[in-house]
Amino acid sequence: MRFMMIVKATADSEAGAMPTTEELTAMGAYNEELAKAGVLLAGEGLHPSSKGARVVFSGDSRTVLDGPFAETKELIAGFWLIQAKSLQEAVEWAKRCPNPMRTESQIEVRQVFDADDFGDDLTPELREQEDRLRAETAQRQG
Amino acid sequence: MGAGATARAIEAVWRIESARLIAGLARVVRDVGLAEDLAQDALVVALEKWPESGVPDNPGAWLMATAKRKGIDLLRRDVMLDRKHAEMAHALEQRQESAPDDDDVDGVQDDLLRLVFTTCHPVLSTEARVALTLRLVGGLTTAEIARAFLVPEPTVGQRVSRAKRTLATANVPFEVPTGAELAPRLASVLDVVYLVFNEGYSATAGEDWMRPALCEDALRLGRVLAQLMPREPEVHGLVALMEVSASRTHARTAPDGSPVLLADQDRSRWDPMLVRRGLAALERAEQLGGALGPYALQAGIAACHARARTAEETDWERIVAFYDALAQLAPSPVVELNRAVAVSMAYGPAEGLALVDQLIDAPALRGYHLLPAARADLLAKLGRTDEAQEDLARAASLTRNVRERTLLLERARRLAGPHGSALG
């Protein structure tokens, strides 16, 4: 199973404050711990939302909103993708993270969808339809 | 936190901490079996106390301290208190007073490496190596291992305890082999990991064609090894092979659970992250220099498939070259068979069939279902439908995997049909 550990933004991270050498060292050690345990799949830090944009969908219309965005605590500042056997294991890994921010902050742990997660609700016919859609999308993109 | 939630949290802590715990204890007590018993004792205490007190902030250090206390008690109580045990008790006390283990990252890594070489020691049977490695290094429970290999739980339990006794009786030292011993011992470690992966990737028995959780366990072990032995190209080669192979997990199973052949797979469903990780690991193996080992060569072949956007774009000539190298390095009829298939793709089915036919009498391939399966493909391409059907039927009678048997019979049926095409 895969889980995403999502680091939520803070006023500091949104202001573009860079981590100190000490903070970088601690985070580097944590990344190494994840890698040494064989669970780390990917991880990235994100620029503040002032450098980002949103595309808003409503029917056929597409509206682009430039950052920054107001609801700081709901924004994402970075993430790890890890392999774990259970939510509890992923949570245990998250607890081992050094404080990701200088002020109070959060890491949200979410399970990544897998075709198997749909269980019996996803009938072979539905799966086939989903696969076909994926293939068509891929063709359009390719 | 409810009792159930705490139990699950303890299980998670165990999965994360147990290998380091057992490895650290084994260095002091010089007995992997005793080290695991002490670690289990500490787990029992955790299961009693944590539901009341909550999971401690540093559960790894807590478990280690508890296990050491248990060890000192046990060694002191031991009526056979000889000098060896007195020394061990003293060493445990020393370790307890010294700085927390977490600070000694290199020491922990060295202990883990010793543990891996011990659980994969040649004095043990292959089955015992697999069970002990998954349990002590992978942090899996006996029940999980039993489920993964479709054997009764007591069987796995017996395998593990017998393996621990064998290691103790044979006085297997808790150490990493050096010199000329290292290469064959490392090969044995890698083989154990790959065997676990393969059992997950193409299950040899049972209803399911794949057991992805077992692939994940093997991948995790492989990545741990790559961190422990970053200078060994074959470790990266094995990781590359497993990551690229695992990238095809979702594409190689049809909605009804039956297997999908590589050429027929929807490549948009290959996991690009695992492909990227696999190619990066292969690059590391290549950069370390020297001739590529058998795992790196197989990873090279897997990478050729991963790089081809369509089956038609596959660089079969390059794959043949990899198989040539593999056949020299690790000659086996199975490699020859795969090489024959690659040759048929690069230079035509007739050339491939000539090579396959040379293998029919190889004793190692008698009963190997993929030989008639591959031969059937080539015969079908050459328009020799009747012979192809015969070989497919033979292949179906030889496989123990239910899903695979169905697929083979289905291919035979399609060849027979009025609209039968050469390739199913």
A78, A140: one domain: no
Closest chain A residue to B102, measured at CA: A33
A34, A50: one domain: yes
Q: How confident is the model at residue A112 (pLDDT cuts 50, 70, 90)?
A: very high
Cα B144-B150-B153 angle, rounded to 5 deg: 55
Strands A76-83 and A2-8: antiparallel
A124, A140: one domain: yes
| Dist. CA B100–CA B120, nearest whole Å | 29
Mean pLDDT of A93-119: 87
A74, A133: one domain: no
Q: Is the pLDDT of residue B84 over 80?
A: no
| DSSP-derived secondary structure letter, A56 | E
A17, A78: one domain: yes
A81, A57: one domain: yes
* Cross-chain CB nearest to A138 (options B11, B213, B268): B268
CB pairs under 8 A between A and B: 70
Would you give the distance in Å from CA B168 to the centre of its chain? 25
A138, A95: one domain: no
Q: Which tens digits make up the pLDDT trace of B279-323? A: 999 999 999 988 899 999 999 999 999 999 999 999 999 999 999
- Tokens 């027929």, residue located: B264
Instruction: Please report, rounded to a whole number, the percentage of residues in chain B having pLDDT higher than 70.
Output: 91
CATH number at residue A57: 3.30.70.1060
A39, A8: one domain: yes
Per-residue exposure over A86-117, b if at least 16 CB sit within 10 Å of its own CB, e if not: bebbbbbbbebbeebbeeebebebeeeeeeee
A57, A76: one domain: yes
Cβ-based interface (< 8 Å): residues of A facing B: 1, 35-42, 81, 83-86, 88-89, 91-93, 115-116, 124-125, 127-128, 131, 134-135, 138-139, 142
* Cross-chain CB nearest to B16 (options A37, A125, A131): A37
Q: Is the pLDDT of residue A138 over 90?
A: no
Q: What is the pLDDT of residue A134?
A: 52
Q: What is the pLDDT of residue A139?
A: 45
Strands A76-83 and A40-45: antiparallel
Q: How far is B131 from chain A (nearest CA, A)?
A: 18
Average pLDDT, chain B: 89
DSSP A9-50: P-HHHHTTPPPPHHHHHHHHHHHHHHHHTT-EEEEEE---GG
Among residues B187, B202, B198, B272, which one has the least CA distance to residue B237? B187
Q: How confident is the model at residue B206 (pLDDT cuts 50, 70, 90)?
A: low
Q: What is the pLDDT of residue B96?
A: 59
Mean pLDDT of B336-365: 92
| Dist. CA B17–CA B13, nearest whole Å | 6
Q: Is the pLDDT of residue B99 over 50?
A: no
A43, A11: one domain: yes
Q: Which tens digits make up the pLDDT trace of B133-190? A: 999 999 999 998 998 888 899 999 999 999 999 999 999 999 999 999 999 999 999 9
Q: What is the pLDDT of residue B7?
A: 86
Q: How far is A18 from chain B (nearest CA, A)?
A: 27
A59, A129: one domain: no
Mean pLDDT of A102-119: 83
Q: B109 contacts in A (CB within 8 Å)?
A: 36
Closest chain B residue to A126, measured at CA: B255
Instruction: Show the domain range for A122.
Output: 118-142
Residues 283-322 of B with CB under 8 A from A: 309
A56, A24: one domain: yes
Q: Which residues, at least 6 apart from B156, have a Cβ–Cβ distance to it below 8 Å?
A: B131, B142, B145, B146, B149
Tokens in use for B298?
């197989």
Burial (CB count within 10 angstroms: exposed 0-12, middle 13-18, buried 19+), residue B268: middle
Number of separate domains in chain A: 2
Q: What is the pLDDT of residue B333?
A: 87
Closest chain A residue to B258, measured at CA: A124
Q: Is the pLDDT of residue B366 over 60?
A: yes
- pTM recorded for the entire structure: 0.85
Q: What is the pLDDT of residue B287?
A: 96
* B contact test, residue of A92, A123, A133 with most B CBs within 10 A: A92
Closest chain B residue to A137, measured at CA: B268
Q: Does B51 touch chain A (CB under 8 A)?
A: no
* B contact test, residue of A89, A95, A114, A139 with most B CBs within 10 A: A89
Q: Is the pLDDT of residue B69 over 50?
A: yes
Q: Which tens digits make up the pLDDT trace of A32-43? A: 999 999 999 999
Q: Is the pLDDT of residue B377 over 70?
A: yes
